[in-house]
Amino acid sequence: MRMSIRLLSLVDRLSPPRLAQAHCDLPCGVYDPAQARIEAESVKAIMEKFHSSDDNVFKTRAVQIKEERAELVKHHLWVLWTDYFKPAHLERYPQLHQLFWKATKAAGESKHSTDVAVAQDLLDQIAEIDKIFWETKQG
């Protein structure tokens, strides 16, 4: 068994490296801001339900779930920013860096807030990212 591991390692070293780009362990090439948007919509809906409830147990659970969803928004945004968008996109859309920075900051703020306006701001920023994303897919 040790011999086969060493042999595989030698083969890997002699083979030319392959470039793979993906947002997961399998290079499927599927990217879409919809993942971030859906999580952000959930954050906003939870904030709205939080404010319409008098049940403290419900409110505690809502805050926990909202924080999890906001963290997922950050994750999906960073995947797009770091794995999908390339230097050519940044040349065409110089506002991308600032836009992603603001959107991920808004996602972080959504974790610590129950203000529906914060969640709406996050959704608005994701909408801008979405527009640019689909323009890049057009060519």
**pLDDT by residue (tens digit) across 48-67?**
999 999 999 999 999 999 99
For residue 11, tell me if it sits in a domain. Answer: no
- Tell me which residue range forms the domain holding 45: 29-138
pLDDT of residue 18: 59
Binned at pLDDT 50, 70 and 90, residue 1 comes out as very low
pLDDT of residue 115: 97
For residue 112, tell me if it sits in a domain. Answer: yes
In Å, what is the CA distance from 34 to each residue of 56, 64, 76, 120? 32, 22, 9, 15
Q: What is the pLDDT of residues 4-34, one digit of tens each?
A: 455 555 555 566 665 544 445 555 678 999 9
How much of the chain exceeds pLDDT 70, in percent? 79
For residue 14, tell me if it sits in a domain. Answer: no
pLDDT of residue 23: 47
Instruction: Please report, for the domain that includes residue 97, its CATH number.
Output: 1.20.120.400
For residue 125, tell me if it sits in a domain. Answer: yes
Kindly state the average pLDDT of the residues 100-126.
97
End-to-end CA distance of the chain: 49
Q: Residue type for 91, please?
A: E
State how many domains the chain has: 1
Average pLDDT, the chain: 87
The pair of structure tokens assigned to 19 is: 């470039």
Q: Is the pLDDT of residue 118 over 70?
A: yes
pLDDT of residue 24: 55
For residue 5, tell me if it sits in a domain. Answer: no
Instruction: Kindly report the pTM of this predicted structure.
Output: 0.79
pLDDT of residue 29: 72
- Contact yes or no for 76/35 (Cβ under 8 A): yes
Kindly state the average pLDDT of the residues 74-101.
95
For residue 16, tell me if it sits in a domain. Answer: no
